[in-house]
Amino acid sequence: MASPFLDYVREFMVSRRYAKRTVETYLYWIRFYILFHHKQHPNQLSDADVENFLSYLSNQRTVAIKTQATALNALSFLYRHIILRPLSLNLNFNKARVAQKLPVVLTRVEIQQLLALIDPKYKLLAQLMYGSGLRLMEAIRLRVQDIDFDYLSVLVWQGKGNKNRRVTLAPELIPALKLQIEYVKQHFQTDLHNPSYAGVWLPFALARKYPAAPKEIGWHYLFPSSLLSLDPESKLIRRHHLDETTVRRAIKVAARLAKISKNVTCHTLRHSFATHLLEAGIDIRTVQEQLGHSDVKTTQIYTHVLNRGGNAVKSPLSLLLNG
């Protein structure tokens, strides 16, 4: 049964241009929180109830640190912007302490096998994720003008943490990227002849500042959907970017065809990018900048991968057998 309260929260977030993923994630945790407290209205609950919920996630659900942090962010938003009673800054709850997993990394040979067997429609995307260290959604949301051929770089706008950055571009991808842009232009010319076409979606502030931009080629997605669709917010006809689930599926299929036994995801390509840069002698600060990490400690996880790979530490068994 639909909840008028959750519908209100959704409308509030959409009207303030929160990302769709953020809206869905926050609603999930707010709904979970309400159900945990036997469907009591959040206005009737206190900081102590929030603490109990967060402790439950840690103690009974054994969620990861980032998962618990996301739940806290959702509830903090709820009480600050909806209930209008901000949470205490000194909440006392059991913090999640699940050990951080080491990232899955492919060897260069495995990367070659994966790229050789992936569906050609998604090969360029996979090459960008590996070659430039992009997250899946960063690659999917690229616009035509985000490719800087002159300086061999890719511009990433509003990545994770709402950060912008410039990352390296492999020159070997230039021909494929130019072909992809020609493909985008074909869609673009067809769409312009459609009287219902309202142009590509832009964030609210940009659309207001550059009213003509939605119908300029540079703002169109580099990896567009094959079909026009109705924008659920504006109710206008637009061409959105490719559906990310199709890319995830293509990566899984390619890994299976390549007989790679590791748990390969789109993010594995980004992990491999970072690890292979460090293996090549690139300093960790440069890798940090390429990945867009705020703290070098986050990047250091890849040095752990290198150290545990068998090359940094000589096994005592090898010394015994070869001594």
Catalytic residue set? 135, 160, 267, 270, 293, 302
Rounded CA separation 189/294 (Å): 40
Rounded CA separation 221/157 (Å): 13
C-alpha dihedral (23, 25, 31, 33), degrees to nearest 10: -130
- The phi and psi torsions of 237 (rounded to 5 degrees) equal -85, 125
Q: What is the DSSP letter of 237?
A: E
Q: How far from 268 is each of 62, 198, 251, 252, 297, CA to CA, in Å? A: 24, 36, 10, 11, 19
Q: What is the DSSP letter of 8?
A: H
Rounded CA separation 264/252 (Å): 7
Residues 227 and 213: beta-carbon distance below 8 Å: no
Rounded CA separation 280/261 (Å): 25
Residues 58 and 51: beta-carbon distance below 8 Å: no
